[in-house]
Amino acid sequence: MYSCLALFILVATSSICKGQNVFPKDPYIEVGSSINIVCQNNVQGKIYWTLNSERIDKSWPVTINSSHSVLSLLNFTHSSATLQCHSANTQVLGGTIIRTYTKPSNMSCILTDTIGDSWFMCTWEHQTDSSLKINYTVLCNSCSNLSEICNSQETSCKSKYADIAEEITFVGDFNVTVRAKHAAWEAFSEPQVFKLREILKINPPKLKVTAVSDHLLVEWKPTYKVQRKYRCQVKYSTAANESTPEVLNKNLAELENQGIVKIENVKSCSNYTVAVRCASESAPWSDWSQEETVLTKLNQSDVKLHLWRKVAEADENRVRKVRAMWAEIPSTCQETVTYTIKQTPYKQHMTGVDHMETSCDNSICDVNQDAHRINLKVFHNKSLFVEDSVYVPAIGERLPQVTNIQTSTFEGVILVSWKAPREPVSGYMIDYTHNGNIYSWKETKYTNTTLFDLLDKKPYNITVTPLFDDKTGHSTQAHQICSNVGDPGDFTNVNVQAKHKSAFVSWSVKSQEACRGAVVNYIIFYSTQDGPQLNVTVDNTTQHISLKDLNPNTQYSVYVKAIAHTGTTKSSERLFETKRFDPALITALSVCGSILIVLVLSVGLCCAIQWKRFQEKPIPNPGNSSLGLWRPTAHDQGIWRFQPLSYPHQNIFNVADPVEVQRTSISPLTPGCHDNPASDQTVEYTDPVLVTAPDIQSEDSVERKETQHPSPPEESTELLSSEGGPLSPYRSQSSVETAPRTSKPCKSVSLKQPDKTPPVTIYVTLDMFE
Ligand SMILES: *[C@@H]1O[C@H](CO)[C@@H](O)[C@H](O)[C@H]1NC(C)=O
Ligand SMILES: *[C@@H]1O[C@H](CO)[C@@H](O)[C@H](O)[C@H]1NC(C)=O
Ligand SMILES: *[C@@H]1O[C@H](CO)[C@@H](O)[C@H](O)[C@H]1NC(C)=O
Ligand SMILES: *[C@@H]1O[C@H](CO)[C@@H](O)[C@H](O)[C@H]1NC(C)=O
Ligand SMILES: *[C@@H]1O[C@H](CO)[C@@H](O)[C@H](O)[C@H]1NC(C)=O
Ligand SMILES: *[C@@H]1O[C@H](CO)[C@@H](O)[C@H](O)[C@H]1NC(C)=O
Ligand SMILES: *[C@@H]1O[C@H](CO)[C@@H](O)[C@H](O)[C@H]1NC(C)=O
Ligand SMILES: *[C@@H]1O[C@H](CO)[C@@H](O)[C@H](O)[C@H]1NC(C)=O
Ligand SMILES: *[C@@H]1O[C@H](CO)[C@@H](O)[C@H](O)[C@H]1NC(C)=O
Ligand SMILES: *[C@@H]1O[C@H](CO)[C@@H](O)[C@H](O)[C@H]1NC(C)=O
Ligand SMILES: *[C@@H]1O[C@H](CO)[C@@H](O)[C@H](O)[C@H]1NC(C)=O
Ligand SMILES: *[C@@H]1O[C@H](CO)[C@@H](O)[C@H](O)[C@H]1NC(C)=O
């Protein structure tokens, strides 16, 4: 591809330059080297040169004779450049492209001694276009007749040492060069000499680590056969500082074929990771050996029992329960240890150990009123490993104690300070608990301390006890203090009573929870489903509120927030719906309604009484009669008869129902007109007479439905006119009644009547009846 490109440029250039006037054509030169370029000028006159289209100044010498111009490029460092020679009238006489290449450099070789095989490996650097395909060869100058050691197309290569060993044994050193070969050029690195013992990278040593009582023993052996001087390094780390391992150096003499190192001051019961590497004199380091991890043993000097005790109030027998507490040996230790707690009466200047020692039950000792010592012994493999003891003062013993304990909290830690007793003390023991079962304790020399690692929002009881050389003073307890104060207590319930335009909201919060923040005020948030959120703030003495100006018949949601200096607590959200009507309005309405009913009833009663009076009158009242046109042909039976009002259920206002009158005589002939007066129910009509007019049957049924209700009283008078006709001549108010309407019900005619019959005007005044 590259040659294609070169060909293309060549063709292009030759087309620009008329004829092959410039030599050499497209040379490759080593960067920094020099070259002479010749331009043949048949044309007479001055000639000048351009490099990448820029005219070359005097920095490069040009020699000119009659037919040639020679440009000397010294120390040429361009990676690629186009050089052209021009005649005085700027005509291009010819050109060439000059490219440079670099030599491989910074070669380094090592001889690795991997298991089974030894390898001679070299690396070098070569600044070149990475797309160029270059074949590298490492050449051995000092070898007798093996010149090529290895080939590669990368900047490293290796060869089995066995293949070249024979060649170099005579020489002892490697004198090597690397050759870079490209299609157009070839470059050699500077020759470099490597001494065998300086490039020998040995195998990583074999390592063995053992945990001894208080240290680690590291042993290793270099694996190279040849006895040499070695320098070695041991690195070790715990899981905690894996990234910053400690390193120990150790040199091995020529005949010393094993390294031993002790790692001291190791932490008890911790995993240590150890690795080692070696190098022969100035040769490169071997790789690190495989890492070995060992668990260190429990070291007696690391065991700090921190024995302490908590003395309870004496019971009626003056027996006190003393709880012993100590720091147990970490569970990461694989050693099995046993603890024993015993108590001995304390006697000053006691000599010997033959005093009565009594066992305690687990960590609880029953101690009488006298002073005692609590002894803790730790056994490992049935032998005493460590022991400790602590003093329990007698009841009423005159001992100093601290005063004026001050406590405060700051970001989850408790600061405690106190006033020292007058007597000199060796220190103070501070113990603290949040539940009476789990105790923490710490010692200080100062009259203050900071308690860390506390549980969140727990009330702590803190006790300070002064310590003397072999005794303790009396304890003083501080006021209970919370590790930190949290949100206010949770809401227990939120109740809402909704009204028409207001709602009464009440709530309560869990009271008296330790370490809860004191409520400063409550904020009630409420809103409709899509309305803006409104809020009302009340102070901490109020636990209810009436929300005003609500919209009737609307759903609202409400919740309450308790605000304390230390946080807020939000209640759950409650939904409620305001009432559609004002209950007061409903009450007013119902009162009015009742009054109205009473009024109506009393009026009715009045009327009934009136009617009763009237009934008692022997003479009928014409005012109670219907009016009809008197027919001359009327029978006796058709004569208006007075119908006494004898149905108790009848409407008292319908004092003279003409229909009723009519019914008495014609009810069999007009069944569709009215219902049975005895019951106001719908009646199915099956009278055959009715069915005689099939053409109007359907219409009839419709009509009938409309007449199913008892006719109102005012309609009754109208009915009289409709029933006019041959069948009931005495009721007709019209003399020109049209076709007989036997099957037609009477009622609905009332409105149509005026259209069908010319109106007959009859004037009746009430006075007439009176
Ligand atoms: C001019 O110089 C070129 C190259 O140096 C040489 O070949 C040529 O013979 C010289 N011509 C004359 C006339 O000296
Ligand atoms: C070649 O150029 C480089 C940098 O441009 C310079 O350091 C070096 O001395 C030069 N060599 C010669 C022989 O001029
Ligand atoms: C030569 O290589 C080594 C590492 O192989 C490197 O530290 C050094 O910088 C290199 N020197 C040059 C001149 O590139
Ligand atoms: C290494 O080999 C080269 C090429 O044969 C030679 O010029 C050079 O002097 C040698 N160097 C040494 C130190 O033998
Ligand atoms: C080196 O040359 C010697 C004789 O010149 C020859 O016998 C030997 O085989 C050669 N070694 C290799 C590896 O070519
Ligand atoms: C590089 O080596 C390969 C095979 O070893 C060969 O085919 C190729 O021609 C070589 N290239 C050059 C530029 O020598
Ligand atoms: C781990 O780091 C601590 C503190 O940086 C240091 O005291 C200790 O010696 C280190 N331990 C090891 C094994 O390197
Ligand atoms: C030590 O390492 C072993 C195995 O890697 C592991 O089981 C053990 O828990 C570790 N012990 C400690 C104290 O880290
Ligand atoms: C803390 O001390 C008080 C008296 O100061 C006591 O009533 C309470 O029981 C103690 N609480 C615990 C957990 O010991
Ligand atoms: C405790 O007291 C000492 C000396 O009075 C003082 O330097 C130190 O800051 C105090 N520490 C705390 C936590 O108050
Ligand atoms: C109400 O808050 C005030 C401080 O704003 C506080 O002093 C008072 O104790 C609180 N009352 C109750 C009952 O929490
Ligand atoms: C209460 O409502 C007012 C506007 O009515 C608003 O400015 C304020 O931020 C609200 N308070 C809270 C705590 O949301």
Q: Is the pLDDT of residue 272 over 50?
A: yes
Name the residue with the closest Cα to ligand 9, atom 12: 436
Residue 397 lies inside a defined structural domain of this protein: no
Which of 107, 138, 141 maximizes ligand 4 atoms within 8 Å of its Cβ, making it the mutation to test the pocket? 141
pLDDT tens digits, 124-141: 999 888 888 999 999 988
Looking at the CA of residue 133, tell me the nearest atom of ligand 6: 13
Asked whether residue 142 carries a pLDDT value surpassing 70, the answer given is yes
User: Does residue 520's CB lie within 6 angstroms of at least one atom of ligand 11?
Assistant: yes
Question: How high is the pLDDT of residue 288?
Answer: 95
Most informative mutation of 242, 270, 295, 334 for ligand 8 (most atoms within 8 A of CB): 295
Owning domain of residue 407: 403-482
For residue 388, what is the domain's CATH number? 2.60.40.10
How far away, in angstroms, is 508 Cα from ligand 12 center? 22
287 versus 167: the higher-pLDDT residue is 287
57 belongs to a structural domain: yes
pLDDT for the residue numbered 42:
67
**Which ranges in 416-537 belong to alpha helices (H)?**
none
389 vs 741, higher pLDDT: 389
Q: Are residues 658 and 752 in the same domain?
A: yes
Q: Alpha-carbon distance 62 to 83, whole Å?
A: 13
Would the CB of 535 count as within 6 Å of ligand 12? Answer: yes
Ligand nearest, relative to CA of residue 75? 2
Decide if pLDDT at 756 tops 80.
no
Atom of ligand 2 nearest to the CA of 32: 1
Position 160 confidence tier, pLDDT thresholds 50, 70, 90: confident
Within a domain: 374: yes
- Looking at the fold, whether 529 and 609 belong to one and the same domain comes out as no
- Structure-block tokens of residue 227: 């006895």
β-partners of residue 431 are 441, 463
563 within ligand 11 shell (Cβ under 6 A): no
Q: What are 24's two structure tokens?
A: 């050499």
% pLDDT > 90, the chain = 41
Q: What ligand 4 atom has the least distance to the C-alpha of 175?
A: 1
- Ligand nearest, relative to CA of residue 446: 10
Task: Find the ligand nearest to 73 CA.
Answer: 2
614/414: higher pLDDT: 414
* 504-518 tens-digit pLDDT: 999 998 866 788 888
Q: How far is the CA of 137 from the centre of ligand 2 (A)?
A: 28
Protein residue whose Cα sits closest to atom 14 of ligand 12: 535
For ligand 2, atom 10, name the residue with the nearest CA: 75
**Mean pLDDT lowest among 122-136, 413-427, 461-475, 623-637:** 623-637
Q: Are residues 735 and 763 in the same domain?
A: yes
Question: Are 633 and 750 in a shared domain?
Answer: yes
| Residue pLDDT, tens place only, 530-559 | 889 999 999 999 999 999 999 999 999 999
Residue closest by Cα to atom 1 of ligand 4: 175
In DSSP terms, 413 is beta-bridged to 410
Q: What is the per-residue pLDDT for 382?
A: 87
**Through-space distance between the first and last CA atoms of the chain, rounded to whole angstroms:** 138
Judged by its nearest atom, the ligand closest to the C-alpha of residue 295 is: 8
Ligand 5 atom, smallest distance to 166 CA: 13
The number of folded domains in the chain is: 8
pLDDT in tens, 317-370: 999 999 999 998 888 888 888 999 999 998 765 555 556 788 898 889 999 999
Q: Is the CB of 293 under 6 A from ligand 8?
A: yes
Q: Is the CB of 102 under 6 A from ligand 3?
A: no
CA-closest residue to ligand 10 atom 9: 448
Q: What pLDDT score was predicted for residue 61?
A: 82
Same-domain pairing of 766 and 645: yes
Query: pTM here?
Result: 0.54
Question: Which of 132, 133, 135 should be mutated for ligand 6, with most atoms under 8 A from CB?
Answer: 135
User: Is the domain of 682 the same as that of 696?
Assistant: yes
- Residue 223 or residue 43, greater confidence: 223
Pocket lining: 538 vs ligand 11, CB cutoff 6 Å: no
Gap from CA of 330 to ligand 8 centroid (Å): 13
In a domain, 398, yes or no: no
Q: Whose CA is nearest to atom 5 of ligand 7?
A: 241
The predicted structure's pLDDT at residue 120: 87
Same domain, 120 and 261: no
CA 461 / ligand 9 centre spacing (Å):
6
Is the sign of the CA dihedral 603, 609, 614, 615 positive or negative? positive
Residue 559 belongs to some domain of the structure: yes
User: How far does residue 541's CA lie from ligand 11's centre (Å)?
Assistant: 7
Q: Cα of 548 to ligand 1 centre, how many Å? A: 116
Mutate which of 540, 542, 565 for ligand 11? The one with the most ligand atoms within 8 Å of its CB, which is: 540
Measure the CA dihedral 617/620/623/627, to 10°.
170
> Which helix H or strand E contains 137, and what residues bound it?
strand 135-140
Q: Is 296 in the pocket of ligand 7 (CB under 6 A)?
A: no
How many angstroms is it from 354 CA to the middle of ligand 8? 43
Ligand 2 centroid, distance to 76 Cα (angstroms)? 9
Question: Residue 707: what pLDDT?
Answer: 39
Cα(516) to centroid(ligand 9), Å? 18
Distance 184 CA to ligand 4 centre (A): 26
- Please give all residues whose beta carbon lies within 6 A of any atom in ligand 1, as ranges: 65-68, 70
Select from 306, 307, 300, 308 the least CA-distant residue to 333.
300
Question: Can you say how many angstroms the Cα of residue 472 is from the centroid of all Cα atoms in its chain?
Answer: 51
Closest C-alpha residue for ligand 2 atom 9: 75
Mean pLDDT score, 637-650: 44
Closest atom of ligand 11 to CA, residue 518 = 14
Structure tokens at 241: 């500082």
The pLDDT of residue 307: 95
Residues 643 and 770 grouped into a single domain: yes
Residue 643 reports pLDDT greater than 60: no
The residue whose CA is least distant from atom 7 of ligand 5 is 145
What's the pLDDT at 638? 42
Ligand 7, atom 2, lies closest to the CA of 241
User: Burial of 234 by CB count in 10 Å (0-12 exposed, 13-18 middle, 19+ buried)?
Assistant: buried
If asked whether residues 387 and 415 sit together in one domain, one would say no
Residue closest to 744 by CA, chosen among 700, 710, 702, 705: 700
CA distances from 77 to 29, 57, 63, 85 (A): 9, 17, 22, 20
- For ligand 6, the distance from its centroid to the CA atom of residue 136, given in whole angstroms, is 9
pLDDT at 742 over 50: no
Evaluate: CB of 519 within 6 angstroms of ligand 11: yes
Of 482, 515, 550, which residue sits at a domain end? 482
Q: How would residue 280 be classed by pLDDT, with cut points 50, 70 and 90?
A: confident
| 228 or 656: which leads in pLDDT | 228
Asked whether residue 560 is assigned to any structural domain, the reply reads: yes
Residue 306 confidence (pLDDT): 93
Report, as an integer, the average pLDDT of 226-251: 89
- Point out the ligand nearest to the CA of residue 189: 4
pLDDT at 129: 83
Testing ligand 9's pocket by substitution, the residue of 461, 477, 481 carrying the most ligand atoms inside 8 A of its CB is 461
Question: Does ligand 4 lie within 6 Å of residue 172's CB atom?
Answer: no
Nearest by Cα to 296 from 324, 320, 267, 257: 267
Ligand 5: residue whose CA is nearest its atom 6? 145
d(CA 154, CA 130): 10
508, 516, 520, best to mutate for ligand 11 pocket (most atoms within 8 Å of CB): 520
Mean pLDDT on 658-671 = 40
| pLDDT at residue number 526 | 95
Which letter, b or e, does each residue of 428-443 get, where b requires 16 or more Cβ atoms within 10 Å of its Cβ? bbbbbbbeeeebbbee
Greater pLDDT, 730 or 405: 405
The ligand that comes nearest to the alpha carbon of residue 559 is 12
611 DSSP 8-state letter: H
| CB-based contacts of 754, cutoff 8 Å, min separation 6 | none
Cβ neighbours around 267 below 10 Å, total: 12
Whether residue 679 is predicted with pLDDT greater than 60 in this model: the reply is no
Q: Among 7-11, 264-268, 391-395, 457-461, where is mean pLDDT lowest?
A: 7-11
705 lies in some domain? yes
Q: Quick check: is 555 in a domain?
A: yes
Over residues 165-183, the pLDDT tens digits come to 655 554 467 889 999 999 9
C-alpha of residue 563 to centroid of ligand 11, in Å? 11
pLDDT tens profile 288-317 = 999 999 999 998 888 889 999 999 999 999
Task: Among 141, 169, 199, give the residue marking a domain's end.
Answer: 199
Give the residue from 248, 267, 300 where a domain finishes: 300
Is 34 touching ligand 2 by the criterion CB < 6 Å?
Answer: no
Query: What pLDDT was estimated at residue 332?
Result: 85
Express each pLDDT in 67-91 by its tens digit.
Answer: 888 888 888 988 899 998 888 777 8
* Neighbour tally for 532: CB within 10 Å: 6
What does the pLDDT look like over 246-261, one tens digit per residue? 999 999 888 787 899 9
Return the ligand number nearest the Cα of 570: 12
What are the backbone dihedrals phi and psi of residue 302, each rounded to the nearest 5 degrees, phi first?
A: -85, -15
Residues 606 and 639 in one domain: no
Nearest ligand 1 atom to the CA of 65 is: 1
345 and 242, same domain (yes or no): no
Q: Is the CB of 537 under 6 A from ligand 12?
A: no
Is the domain of 355 the same as that of 291?
no
Does ligand 12 come within 6 angstroms of the Cβ of 523?
yes
CB-CB contact of 337 with 377 (8 Å):
no
Mean pLDDT to the nearest integer, 653-665: 41
**Which residues pair with residue 71 across a beta bridge?**
37, 62
